[in-house]
Amino acid sequence: MPDDRLAIVSDPLSVERLSTMLEAMARDRGEGCGAVCSFVGTVRATHQGRHVRYLEYEAFAPLAVKVFHRIEHEIGRHWPGALVAIHHRIGRLQIGEASVAIAVATPHRAEAFQACRYAIERVKQIAPIWKHEFFEDGDLWIEGAPADPEDEAAQQRALEQACA
Amino acid sequence: MPDDRLAIVSDPLSVERLSTMLEAMARDRGEGCGAVCSFVGTVRATHQGRHVRYLEYEAFAPLAVKVFHRIEHEIGRHWPGALVAIHHRIGRLQIGEASVAIAVATPHRAEAFQACRYAIERVKQIAPIWKHEFFEDGDLWIEGAPADPEDEAAQQRALEQACA
Amino acid sequence: MRVKVQLFARLRELAGRGECDCEVPAGASVGDVWRAVADRHVSLRPFGGAISCALNADFARMNAPVQEGDEIAFLPPVSGG
Amino acid sequence: MRVKVQLFARLRELAGRGECDCEVPAGASVGDVWRAVADRHVSLRPFGGAISCALNADFARMNAPVQEGDEIAFLPPVSGG
């Protein structure tokens, strides 16, 4: 199930699982990957000073998975040969739990760090996923910017954050 | 056993174990960590075109652990509050196995990526660890530069690779 | 013609439902579907300038034409990660 | 006085051993210990300009003074990671 690498999931995330998938892929290609950079975003206990009880993430899953494939494709253009895995969790998450896990494998480490950073920036920009924070005294839908995968200025911003 | 975070180990590495340690530490401090960036270096199948059968890593373990603490301290100066875990494996490693695993937890993602990259650059510069490659037709001790933790130009180079 | 509409996150909450059918004239665009939905759920109107749209689970522009049976999704500003 | 010497990686292989004792005069430095070791194992000599030293498991300079019973380690260029 190769597309397990790019998924919306309800169960707890495991960055190890992502790395293992990428290492297996790299082995199948006949060469080890050399470097794997991973990123995990976890639920913080406070939001602008308010105590967070828990979060809920909602996704438009079929489109989110397509977006992850798009991000993989963009990474392939900038860092040829990079292997990418992205899991985003949905449903209720407790403080400290991982909401997103990303792993990128490349032959050398500079590319792994850059492509992994690019991936998380793009996930935040364009994945159809929403965070709903629940406090002691209310709740809040977090809203960033409207998702527009074709927005070249946003792509450029992600690239600059990855490489500079 | 807090110092398990910075260790020379003989068993297979687990980046998940490192992340879990850091998340537990962050929880103990009363705030989730928000972002964890990890790096894993794995054994590649070839070295300058030669087919690698396996590697052996050797370390001066007590000094290597002190060096890891030094790197943690340097990271604390540049990225206050960052939590760091570094495991380097020694002994015989097969192709695809992880030789080094590093995790850095910070409140926000930019710092996690930077500090993790800094950590691997410094490990490569100053940790008293040596790679011995075994080929079909011989072997080779890999040698970089002499380790000098006080070398400010080297520190600056690592910082530039982390941040630019 | 009839199309299927999906609303997510705060749009879903404001409308009180995540899916509904919507009747629009032949030749309608994604934007026409949005206006029909926002007429029915006036609390959605302020979002008009800040949503993304998907047509059959692919991103689409407001001026994309829709067909009978299409699925049109309206997405508030995103916050994954 | 007698000190303990540790050799790592290629130095260890060239010397044929990872540890040895070494007799040096009172007031000797880490560098003096190195020269005594390299006199005994001539294959180590070419490394003189490219090694790091540790004194009792802390990095030290070649001019650091050594004491009876100290452990002095000589480290070839490193290649961890």
Tokens describing residue A96: 């400290």
Stretch B134-159: mean pLDDT, rounded?
A: 96
With a pLDDT cut of 90, the percent of chain B lying above it is: 84
Amino acid identity, position A100: V
pLDDT of residue D49: 86
**Can you tell me the distance from the alpha carbon of B27 to that of B67, in angstroms, rounded to the nearest whole number?**
26
**Nearest-neighbour CA in chain A from C78: distance (Å):** 5
Whole-number Å distance between alpha carbons of D46 and D42: 8
Summarised one tens digit per residue, pLDDT across range D11-59 is: 999 999 999 999 999 999 999 999 999 999 999 999 888 999 999 999 9
Look up the ipTM and state it: 0.94
Count Cβ atoms below 10 Å from residue C55 Cβ, excluding itself: 20
At CB < 8 A and 24+ separation, what contacts does C45-48 make? C47/C11, C47/C74, C47/C76
**Chain C: closest CA distance from residue A41 (Å):** 6
State pLDDT tens for residues C9-56: 999 999 999 999 999 999 999 999 999 999 999 999 998 889 999 999
Interchain contact, A36 vs B39, CB within 8 Å: yes
- Position B2 confidence tier, pLDDT thresholds 50, 70, 90: very low
d(CA C8, CA C79): 12
Q: Would you state the pLDDT for residue A3?
A: 52
Strand A83-89 to strand A98-106: parallel, antiparallel, or no bridges (unpaired)?
A: antiparallel
Q: What CA–CA distances, in Å, run from B159 to A14, A33, A70, C7, D69? A: 29, 25, 32, 46, 38
d(CA B21, CA A121): 26
Query: So what's the pLDDT on residue B33?
Result: 79
| Tokens (6 digits) for A102 | 């990303």
Q: How confident is the model at residue B3 (pLDDT cuts 50, 70, 90)?
A: low
Structure tokens at A88: 């985003």
Q: Which of A109-123, B6-20, B29-43, B108-122 has the lowest mean pLDDT?
A: B29-43
Alpha-carbon span D50 to D34, nearest angstrom: 12
- What is the separation, in whole angstroms, between the first and last Cα of chain A? 35
Residue A129 β-bridge partners: A59
What is the DSSP secondary structure assignment for residue A157, as one 8-state letter?
H
A73: distance to nearest CA of chain B, Å? 22
Query: Is pLDDT at A121 greater than 50 in this prediction?
Result: yes
A98, β-bridge pairs: A42
C-alpha–C-alpha distance, residues B1 and B13, integer Å: 17
Q: Are strands A83-89 and A6-9 parallel, antiparallel or unpaired?
A: parallel
Using one digit for the tens of pLDDT, what is the confidence trace for B10-40?
Answer: 999 999 999 989 988 888 887 667 999 999 9
What's the rounded Cα separation, in Å, for the pair A74 and D11?
A: 47
- Torsion on CA atoms A148, A154, A155, A156, rounded to nearest 10: 160
Q: Are B40 and B103 in contact (CB under 8 A)?
A: no
DSSP E strands: which ranges in chain B? Answer: 6-9, 35-42, 46-47, 50-59, 83-89, 91-93, 98-106, 129-135, 138-142
What's the predicted TM-score (pTM) here?
0.95
Query: Is residue B78 within 8 Å of B20, Cβ to Cβ?
Result: no
Residue B15, classed as helix, strand or coil, is helix
Is the pLDDT assigned to residue A1 strictly greater than 70? Answer: no
Element (H, E) at B20: helix B15-28
Q: Contact at 8 Å (CB) between C21 and C2?
A: yes
pLDDT for res A24:
85
- Identify the residue among A40, A47, A56, A141 best suited for mutation to test binding to C, counting C beta carbons within 10 A and taking the highest: A141
Q: Find how far residue D55's CA is from the centre of its chain.
A: 9
Examine the pLDDT at D66 and tell me if it is beyond 60: yes
Helix (H/G/I), strand (E/B), else coil: C21: strand
Chain A interface residues facing chain C, Cβ-Cβ under 8 Å? 41, 57-60, 62-64, 66, 88, 99-100, 120, 123-132, 141-150
User: Is the pLDDT assigned to residue A115 strictly greater than 60?
Assistant: yes
Nearest-5° angle of CA A98, CA A102, CA A106? Answer: 150
Chain B partners (3+ C-beta pairs within 8 A): A, D
Mean pLDDT check: name the lowest of B46-50, B114-118, D52-56: B46-50
Instruction: Tell whether the torsion through CA atoms of D56, D57, D62 and D63 is positive or negative.
Output: negative
pLDDT at A29: 80
List Cβ neighbours of A114 (8 Å cut-off, separation of 6 or more).
A78, A79, A162, A163
Which residue in the set B14, B46, B109 is minimally distant from A16, CB to CB?
Answer: B14
Question: Is the model's pLDDT at A30 over the cut of 80?
Answer: no
**Dist. CA C34–CA C11, nearest whole Å:** 12
N- to C-terminal Cα distance for chain B? 35
Sort out which chain D residues have CB atoms less than 8 A from B60's CB and list them: 6, 8, 54, 57, 73, 75
Nearest beta carbon to residue A128 from set C8, C10, C50: C8
User: Among partner residues D6, D13, D75, which is closest to B147 by beta-carbon distance?
Assistant: D75
- The whole-angstrom separation of Cα D7 and Cα D18 is 5
Confidence band, pLDDT 50/70/90 cuts, at residue A27 = confident
pLDDT at B1 over 50: no
Question: Are B130 and D79 inside 8 Å of each other by CB?
Answer: yes
- Contact present, A32 and A118 (Cβ < 8 Å): no
Quote the minimal CA–CA distance from B17 to chain A in Å: 9
Specify the range with the lowest mean pLDDT, choosing from A48-52, A114-118, B80-84, B119-123. Answer: A48-52
Q: Do A36 and B14 touch (CB under 8 A)?
A: no
Answer whether residue D71 shows pLDDT above 70: yes
pLDDT of the residue at B164? 72
Cβ-based burial of B164 (10 A; exposed 0-12, middle 13-18, buried ≥19): exposed
Chain D adjacent subunits, 3+ CB pairs under 8 A: B
pLDDT over threshold 50, residue A123: yes
Strand ranges (DSSP E) for chain C?
A: 2-7, 19-23, 52-55, 58-60, 71-75
pLDDT of A2: 44
The pLDDT of residue C72: 98
Q: Measured between alpha carbons, how far is A67 from A126 in angstroms, rounded to an integer?
A: 7
Count of C-beta atoms within a 10 Å radius of residue D12: 18
